[in-house]
Structure 1
Amino acid sequence: MRYKITVTIFALMFAILFLFLFKMQVLEYSNYRAFIDSLMQKTRLVQGTRGTIYDRNGLKLAWSIKVPYITYNRNFDISELERYLDSNQLNTLISSGKVEISKVQLREIEKLGYDIQFKEIRNYVPYVFHIVGYVNSNNVGSYGIEKTYDQLLRGKLGSELILISPSGKIRQKILKVPPENGNDINLTIDYPLQKYISEEIKKIDNPGAVIVEDVKTGEILALVSYPDIEKPINLIDTYEWRKIINNPENPLLNRATMGLYSPGSAIKPLIAISGLLNNESTTTTINCNGQFTYTSSSGKILATYNDWLLSGHGKTDLIKALRVSCNVYFYNLALKLGIDKIKSVATLFKIDKKTGIDIPETEGLFPDKHWKETKFNEPWYPGDTIITGIGQGYILLTPLELLNFYVTIANDGKVPVPHLLKKDKIEIFNNVKFKKEIWDTVKQGLIEVTTVGGNIQNRGTAYQVFKDFKVTVAGKTGTAEVGKGKLPHSWFVGFAPAHNPKYAVIVMFENAGSGSEKAAPFARKIFEFLFQRREKNE
């Protein structure tokens, strides 16, 4: 009896199952087929390729390649794939879930119906990390030009409908919305120049920054910060990344636009202009004996300040003071003017303000009484004014801000916004309107820095470097003391040809010594490169 009941129950269950399958596969086939098919199809987003970044000559600085790969499906016929993938690829596919394949493998595997997808890899030439920047793992711009112009460069999403067989192979692909590739962009950077400067500074192996700008247009032709990161971010492993982060020389810092430094004597043209605007005569002279003594109204010596030339420069007027970088002259002039007048001229030039360049930059600092009282809860002392006259004390500027000041001089007050993206229209950063005599006086002093020889008391501080140079360069050396037993920062900033400026160059080496010994010779190399190539192209 129990046996009959059991058989009856099983027969009944079988009959129900048979009826269900008959209903599904025969009577309601079309309905269930649509349901089954819906389980085997998916819509996939397709990203357009990111745009290419070119230099001014059409050379690629950053570009994308699409790398094919397949994703593992447990229904795959591994024995079939063994004919096309090597053992390492098969192991990677099974263990990680996907594996990259070659273009040759792509053609064969795609014929079999396997789902081929593509990963976008961003490539970069060396020496442009601080300009171009990088993208994150999703190919979104995260730094530099890649971030600034991400919306231009980034490809637009498309979509496709994929029908998949139970074996995991592609039955059909239907493109629903085609993706759009991102826009290509051209930068103002001259990559051969960028590469040359980077390789030369690498030989010196001293942290620093170099910028070359077209004074008429504001186009940045080269922007080098050393040390650099030559390897693309996406190829740097965890160990290398840890080394970069812990490197005391901080290769991630863009020293050209974000490093803040005392400008030293490179600030003296600003003090000279302040004097000229406040009726200081160019013929007024002092007798520099190598030392400036600050005394009280009663004649008591309160402080003594040395010139860089302890034997002194002798009789010195304004133009000579610029030429020989006479500290004593500028101690006197700064104290005579007072910080308020100096600060007002610095404000006219916007010397400590962001320039508007299209990568991250830091705002500088040109101090005044209010700033010091707010920052330190201390009054501004005459000694603060005295050392401000030679670019020491609290002044901090980026190399780009200081270069922008010299471009203003080169253009007689009109200065374009420095930029990296090629543009048809020139934007104006500032337009400082002074009498032409003021610009001419300062320029004459800067020209004599590189052109007037003689003994050490009288010759220009960069004369020995530029004395046989074919093109007249107007410029200024700077040696900025930093204390703590370290060597000073070495500066040179200038423009050429002096009487019809085309290029402005700034060189800064951290803790490298005097400007005339380190920065100026390097600047000459850059000017030589620029004008030799210019001659070949004319």
Structure 2
Amino acid sequence: MRYKTTFFVFILMFSILLFFLVKIQIFDSEKHKEFLDSLLTRTLLTKGLRGTIYDRNGVKLAWSEKYPYLVYTNNIEIEKLKNILTEDQMNEFIKSGEVKLEDYQIYSIENLGYYIQYKEIRRYLPEVLHIVGYLTQGKGSFGLEKAYNDILEGKLGSELVLSTPSGKIQQRIIQRKPENGENLHTSIDFNLQKYIYSQLKEISIPAAVIVENTKTGEILSLVSYPSIDEEFYNIDPYTWRKIIEDPKKPLLNRTTMGLYSPGSSIKPLIAIAYLLSESTPSTVNCTGKFEYKSSSGKTLAIFNDWLLSGHGETDLVKALRVSCNVYFYNIALKMGIDKIKSVADMFRINQKTGIDIEETEGIFPSRNWKQKVQKTTWYPGDTILTGIGQGYILLTPLQLLNFYTTIANNGTTPIPHIVKTKKEYTKLNIPENIWNTIKEGLLEVTTYGGTIKDRGTAYISFKDAPYKIAGKTGTAEVGKGKKSHSWFVGFGPFDSPEYSVVVLFENGGSGSEMAAPFARKIFDYLLGDDKNE
């Protein structure tokens, strides 16, 4: 009886199995064929190329190139590739699992049913790395690449393909082509950019140089030296480590993110504050030192001029011309830090300028700032040092240039920008006679000759120039036994300024000896008799 029961159960199970096999194979065949076919179709996503970034004259600053690659998958039969790939390509494919193809190989590879991937390689001119930035995992992560990522980024496309069970592509069914990103046209003059970069490379000192169209705010050149020559997509870990640990910090954009003591280049701001508070500027007898005394007449500290023998009788214009520290010690202490800070805030001198790449906010100190950050009281000595751009002031080269552009335009400040369509302005209402006085002093910096106690600090550099430049040198002490930062900031031609220029050499020494001669080269390029076209 037991055997009959077992046999019956076996027959029943077999009958059920047979029934479902017949049902699937015959009655439901179309339904399951549709399901199986759906498993063999794949949607492949493709992306359009990133847009090209151009300079103002159509020179490519950053662009994308597309290369075909074969990437290893389980369905690839190595033996079938030997008649298509070269020996070197085969070795590379076996070693790394992928290989770059030549155009003539694409058809043969596709005929085997293998899917070809296209890789986008982003290329840059090394002189503009700090402007255009770079990508991280296909997204802009710095510079214009980041600021305009949504515009530059290519749009996705898709392709529906029918595959064999082994994964080979059997047929392409539907394709929606990807769209390339939009191109970006900038205000950069690459010829100027390349010229400045090559000149800095010869000197080989970390530096920052910016050239701006004074009237429009267009940035014509923005050079941070050093940069890197390696292409980002091709940097190996060892080289990347060297770049990161390089004491010259080649990835730092010194023009908009480096913070530096401005030294004497800040003196026009102190002079404007003084003229706003004093209708009749005083004259000081500069003996080469300034004695800070208590109310009882006791000398508490002595502050030296850069010229220890002194400049003699000095008014405001001469003080700007010869960069007389003693004069600015006096007027800074007379005004006090609160008045100076209020005028600095009028110019937003330490604020971000609004340029369309990353920038750092600067520091222009106040009583509250020192109490909050330094946890201590503001002293008169702090005010005295602020008067010559030392102490706690830290600005970016762009912030300082922005201030001088405002002077050039008698209070009108175009927002600096790199993409040419952006034009905005702010306006300061300061009496015209104040602008004229400041400009007179800045013009004499480059045009007034004579002995060392009387001549302009940049006279030697500009004395034979076929144009007139207004500007200011700066020599900012940094301590720790290091050489001073070297500055020159100016604009020209004087009668109708077209260009504003800032030059900074980190630990370059005297502004008169280092930055001013370099600025002369730039103005010669822009305005000289044999200027480049």
Q: Which TM bucket (shorter chain)?
A: over 0.9
Q: Does structure 2 retain, via aligned residues, the 8 Å contact 1:473–1:494?
A: yes
Q: Which amino acid in 2 is paired with 1:202?
A: K
1:3 is matched with: none
Q: Which amino acid in 2 is paired with 1:204?
A: I
2:478 is matched with: 482
**Deviation (angstroms), 1:167:** 5.1
Q: How far apart, in 1, do the equivalents of 2:403 and 2:75 lie?
A: 68
Q: Deviations over 1:465-513 (max 9, x none)?
A: 0001111010000000111111110000000101100000000011111
Give the fraction of aligned pairs with identical amino acids, expressed as a percent.
60
- Which range is displaced more, 106-115 or 139-148? 106-115
1:184 is matched with: 183
Q: Deviations over 1:141-164 (max 9, x none)?
A: 111110110000111112111111
- Find the partner of 1:455 among 451, 456, 465: 451
Q: How far apart, in 2, do the equivalents of 1:440 and 1:76 lie?
A: 78
Q: Deviations over 1:71-126 (max 9, x none)?
A: 33433343332111123433443454432211121233234443112111111111
Q: Does structure 2 retain, via aligned residues, the 8 Å contact 1:76–1:167?
A: no
Q: How does 1:22-171 map to 2 (within 5 A)?
A: 28-94=28-94, 96-137=96-137, 139-166=138-165, 168-171=167-170
Q: Does structure 2 retain, via aligned residues, the 8 Å contact 1:63–1:123?
A: yes
**Deviation (angstroms), 1:536:** 5.9
Q: How far apart, in 2, do the equivalents of 1:534 and 1:60 lie?
A: 26
TM-score (norm: length of structure 1):
0.93
Other structure's SS at 2:42 match: strand
Runs of 4+ in 1 over 6 A off after TM superposition: 11-23
Q: Does structure 2 retain, via aligned residues, the 8 Å contact 1:76–1:168?
A: no
Q: How far apart, in 1, do the equivalents of 2:15 and 2:117 lie?
A: 46
**Residues 30 and 91 from structure 1, CA distance in 2 versus in 1: closer, same or farther, beyond 3 angstroms?**
farther
Q: Which amino acid in 2 is paired with 1:427?
A: E
Q: How does 1:82-481 map to 2 (within 5 A)?
A: 82-94=82-94, 96-137=96-137, 139-166=138-165, 168-282=167-281, 284-423=282-421, 426-428=423-425, 430-481=426-477
Number of residue-to-residue matches in the alignment: 525
- Which range is displaced more, 77-86 or 214-223? 77-86
Q: Does structure 2 retain, via aligned residues, the 8 Å contact 1:482–1:489?
A: yes
**Residues 232 and 376 from structure 1, CA distance in 2 versus in 1: closer, same or farther, beyond 3 angstroms?**
same
Q: Does structure 2 retain, via aligned residues, the 8 Å contact 1:75–1:166?
A: no
Other structure's SS at 1:67 match: strand
Q: Does structure 2 retain, via aligned residues, the 8 Å contact 1:129–1:230?
A: no
Q: How far apart, in 1, do the equivalents of 2:531 and 2:227 lie?
A: 31
Q: Does structure 1 retain, via aligned residues, the 8 Å contact 2:63–2:122?
A: yes
Other structure's SS at 1:30 match: helix
TM-score (norm: length of structure 2):
0.93
**Deviation (angstroms), 1:221:** 0.7
**Residues 63 and 321 from structure 1, CA distance in 2 versus in 1: closer, same or farther, beyond 3 angstroms?**
same
**Residues 83 and 15 from structure 1, CA distance in 2 versus in 1: closer, same or farther, beyond 3 angstroms?**
farther
**Residues 324 and 216 from structure 1, CA distance in 2 versus in 1: closer, same or farther, beyond 3 angstroms?**
same
Q: How far apart, in 1, do the equivalents of 2:403 and 2:201 lie?
A: 27
Q: How far apart, in 2, do the equivalents of 1:492 and 1:78 lie?
A: 64
Q: Does structure 1 retain, via aligned residues, the 8 Å contact 2:526–2:532?
A: no
Q: Deviations over 1:38-60 (max 9, x none)?
A: 22221111112111111111111
- Which range is displaced more, 374-383 or 451-460? 374-383
Q: Which amino acid in 1 is paired with 2:424?
A: E
Q: Which amino acid in 1 is paired with 2:230?
A: K
Q: Which amino acid in 2 is paired with 1:105?
A: Q
Q: Deviations over 1:14-44 (max 9, x none)?
A: 9999998776666554334323322222111
**Deviation (angstroms), 1:533:** 8.7
Other structure's SS at 1:367 match: coil
**Residues 75 and 252 from structure 1, CA distance in 2 versus in 1: closer, same or farther, beyond 3 angstroms?**
closer
Q: Which amino acid in 2 is paired with 1:502?
A: E
Other structure's SS at 1:127 match: helix
Other structure's SS at 1:36 match: helix
Q: Does structure 1 retain, via aligned residues, the 8 Å contact 2:52–2:64?
A: yes
**Residues 76 and 25 from structure 1, CA distance in 2 versus in 1: closer, same or farther, beyond 3 angstroms?**
farther
Q: How far apart, in 1, do the equivalents of 2:332 and 2:97 lie?
A: 70
**Deviation (angstroms), 1:439:** 0.4
**Deviation (angstroms), 1:381:** 1.1
Q: Does structure 2 retain, via aligned residues, the 8 Å contact 1:68–1:119?
A: yes
Q: Deviations over 1:356-393 (max 9, x none)?
A: 11111111111111111222232211111111111011
**Deviation (angstroms), 1:247:** 1.2
1:7 is matched with: none
**Residues 447 and 85 from structure 1, CA distance in 2 versus in 1: closer, same or farther, beyond 3 angstroms?**
same
Query: Runs of 5+ in structure 1 lacking a partner?
Result: 1-10
Q: Which amino acid in 2 is paired with 1:242?
A: R
Q: Which amino acid in 1 is paired with 2:346?
A: L
